[in-house]
Amino acid sequence: YGRGPGRRKALALAAAALLTPMSGRAEASEVRILALGDSLTAGYGLARSEGFVAQLEAALRAKGVPARVLDGGVSGDTTAGGRARLDWALADRPDVAIVALGGNDGLRAIPPEATHANLDAILRRLAERKVPALLVGMLAPPNLGAEYGEAFRGTFERLSRAHDVVFYPFFLDGVAAEPALNQPDGIHPNARGVAVMVERILPAVERLIEKARS
């Protein structure tokens, strides 16, 4: 290369040539995760950095998983709303999807058959697009009675078996009915509550990513 400025310039160009393909491979290895949900994924009442999307992404990156979690949460959304906007959400081309809908169906006492039909359509569409899914279960409010509660809970279990997806039974596991982990409304988790949710669901998300890479 010779000496002086010419040699330094040549070395800089060679270094750039070596680094460019490495950067491309790192970007390609990033897994894009769609979090399709309601206020629990949208981070209702929380700063962006405190919500489920940000905390899950940070937890995955802390474990060495280069992940980008896409915020597909809309506060107040039902399974029907999620079904209606699914194709719009898929425009972001996720590699995998977390389907965390149903909480508002339970709060509104929507018939479990309708919830089943909407989630079934969502999972079918994801399968058509070859996007592996993690189905997140929900429990109905106890005031709706044992019969409704059992039918509602069973909806998620049946769908997980029928579609052979990764399944996490209860999104608010360890958080529901814990005042210290919820906002004053008693429904939405605070930042500490979200941290518990992320810690508990993380193994299921890791299985989802492994499924996508296999």
Catalytic residues: 39, 185, 188
Amino acid sitting at position 2 = G
Judge residue 151's burial from the number of C-beta atoms within 10 Å of its C-beta, 0-12 exposed, 13-18 middle, 19 or more buried.
Answer: middle
Where does 128-201 show beta strands of DSSP type E? 133-136, 166-168
Judge residue 112's burial from the number of C-beta atoms within 10 Å of its C-beta, 0-12 exposed, 13-18 middle, 19 or more buried.
Answer: buried
Q: Which residues 6+ apart lie within 8 Å of 172 measured at CB?
A: 40, 138, 139, 189, 197
Could you give the CA distance from residue 187 to residue 197 in angstroms, rounded to a whole number? 14
Could you give the CA distance from residue 185 to residue 142 in angstroms, rounded to a whole number? 17
Cβ atoms of 139 and 106 within 8 Å: the answer is: yes
Paired strand residues for 134: 98, 166
With tokens 């040539």, the residue in question is 17
